Amino acid sequence: MNDFNRRRLLAGLLAAGGGALATPHVFAQDAAQRRNLLETMTFAVPSFQLGVASGDPSADGFVIWTRLAPEPLQPGGGMVMAPVEVRWEVAEDAAFRTIAASGTAVAHPELAHSVHVELAGLRPDRPYWYRFRCGGERSLAGRAQTLPQAGARKDRLRFAAAGCQHYEEGHYTAWRRIAEEPVDFVYHYGDYIYEGRDTGSATRLMNGRPFTPMRQHVGQEIYSLDDYRRRYALYKGDPDLQAAHAAAPWFVSFDDHEVDNNWAAGLDQDGSPPEVFAFRRAAAMQAWYEHMPVRRSSMPVGGSVQMFRRATFGDLMDMHVLDTRQYRSPLGNGGRNGPMNDDFLSPQRTMLGDRQEEWLFTGLAQGTARWQLIAQQVMLMQLAVQPAGGGEMTYSADQWSGYLHGRERLLNHIADRGLTNVMTVSGDAHRHFAGDVLRNGGEGPPVTAEFLATSITSGSDGVGLDDPYHRSVAGNECLKAIIDRRGYVLCDVGRDTFRGELKVLDQVMRPDGELSTFATLVAEHGRPGLQRG
């Protein structure tokens, strides 16, 4: 990373626990028109306990984020219920000798005293450093990076894909390893938090083995805005997660557990009346926005978030970030996995919704970069699973196989237009999967290829190659690699190859698990499909 020492940043985070003048975008009525603004205040304990983050970079800027929370798990984060002025600065060097931009923002109590500053007017394709000040306190510094200009020559891009970080089921060692990687950005596919109650400290079975929670959630299952805020505060207090946020900009999306397991559009999995679930979903979406480094365009409106968006990395890659939750039809087959049936096949059911699907199809067809990346939440490969006792093959109701008509529309769009440069990254399944994506349940040549990143902790240590599930999917020739371990996918994109390394940890129930590469697979430009690297 040239002049930036990631290990030094990581050590500082662990110890603490936790050019041209840029144009910031903050709330237009922030400091000038707030009569109750607190311009100065003091804190008995450090106020930046949830760290800092940057995200949604563009060629001339990015978002910088923090939240004031001296007592993160207390009501209101331990903050006075008034708007508070926060100073910020962005520098061209890690020592903050050359300040590129600085200013003030307001941490609003209506937004849990979070701060989102959108920077514009910065130079393209270079790193910047940022930090915040409030009440005599100064945050640790984070590192951001602008994207290259659209169409500009770019020869290499490295990023990590990760998600599914159940707090009770392991250490966030994978985030610490990602913080040490020289990546340009992180793609978080979702399940940043889990909504379930504190399950206690009693030993139970997981993966057929005894499991005792390593740490515990606070409280019951979460429903209210205060509940969601406290759950995010619990997760974001982890120093390894903070290190990964501070080390590189993120593109974040959400999946199901940010709201409720397997929710779909206006329905939850419990049969709650839609008008009642709408309150919970709105609270969850507000808390997600409050705690993520996203732009104001993603602020919830009426309980909905504009999450699908696009980023361009010079002439090398276009990334299309999808939303596979807010617009999908209800899960087929009552939400149960099963044999392919009329629900799964119905042309009336959609994963993306009409507007998002048209946006994606247009973006893919008009893209001019060497690679087109679809970054989304759930598996695109259609895996047939052999039940342990025999019988018909079953398919996932929650993944694209449960929305087969929409899946085939997407693959036909790619294939019929001769797009041979499309790749997919996804997650949710708590295992590494890598393979080819075929049409019609396995017919014809690969249309694209998929790297599905395993979880950060969800599923705890896993069972490795002894996983019985491996045998149940062994008949899927499209599947090139699978492993039940925790970790992330490290993607290395060049002009002629798209390489994915399946990074795994030997354990997460103890700190400092050993990291290794389980498999490396490569797609060649113009030749859809994966080969061992």
pLDDT at 519 over 90: yes
Residue 7 banded pLDDT, cuts 50, 70, 90: very low
pLDDT at 164 over 60: yes
Class for the domain spanning 1-146+197-238+283-306: mainly beta
pLDDT at 402 over 90: yes
- Please provide the DSSP assignment of 402-449 as one string: GGHHHHHHHHHHHHHTT---EEEEE--SSSEEEEEEEETTTEEEEEEE
Confidence (pLDDT) at 26: 58
Residue 21 banded pLDDT, cuts 50, 70, 90: low
**Average model confidence (pLDDT) for the chain?**
93
Which long-range contacts does 198-203 make (Cβ < 8 Å, 24+ apart)? Answer: 199/168
Annotated domain spans of the chain = 1-146+197-238+283-306, 156-190+307-532
**pLDDT tens across 48-74, in order?**
999 999 999 999 999 999 999 999 999
pLDDT at 16 over 50: no
**Stronger pLDDT, 3 or 480, i.e. the higher one:** 480
**pLDDT tens across 192-205, in order?**
999 999 999 899 98
**pLDDT tens across 262-307, in order?**
999 999 999 999 999 999 999 999 999 999 999 999 999 999 999 9
Tally of CB atoms within 10 A around 148: 19
pLDDT at 23 over 80: no
pLDDT at 14 over 60: no
What's the pTM value of the predicted model, to 2 decimals?
0.94
pLDDT at 3 over 80: no
**pLDDT tens across 470-483, in order?**
999 999 999 999 99
pLDDT at 518 over 60: yes
pLDDT at 375 over 60: yes
Confidence (pLDDT) at 207: 81
pLDDT at 9 over 90: no
| Greatest alpha-carbon span in the chain | 69
Determine the Cα–Cα distance for residues 216 and 207; give it in Å rounded to an integer: 19
Q: Which residues contact 410 (CB under 8 A, 6 or more apart)?
A: 357, 360, 361, 380
Q: Which fold does the domain 156-190+307-532 belong to in CATH?
A: Purple Acid Phosphatase; chain A, domain 2 (3.60.21)
Query: In terms of Cα–Cα distance, which of 356, 56, 325 is closest to 190?
Result: 325
Confidence (pLDDT) at 224: 98
Mean pLDDT of 124-144: 97
Mean pLDDT of 419-426: 98
**Percentage, residues of the chain above pLDDT 90:** 87
Determine the Cα–Cα distance for residues 126 and 110; give it in Å rounded to an integer: 34
Mean pLDDT of 222-226: 98
**pLDDT tens across 303-355, in order?**
999 999 999 999 999 999 999 999 999 999 999 999 999 999 999 999 999 99
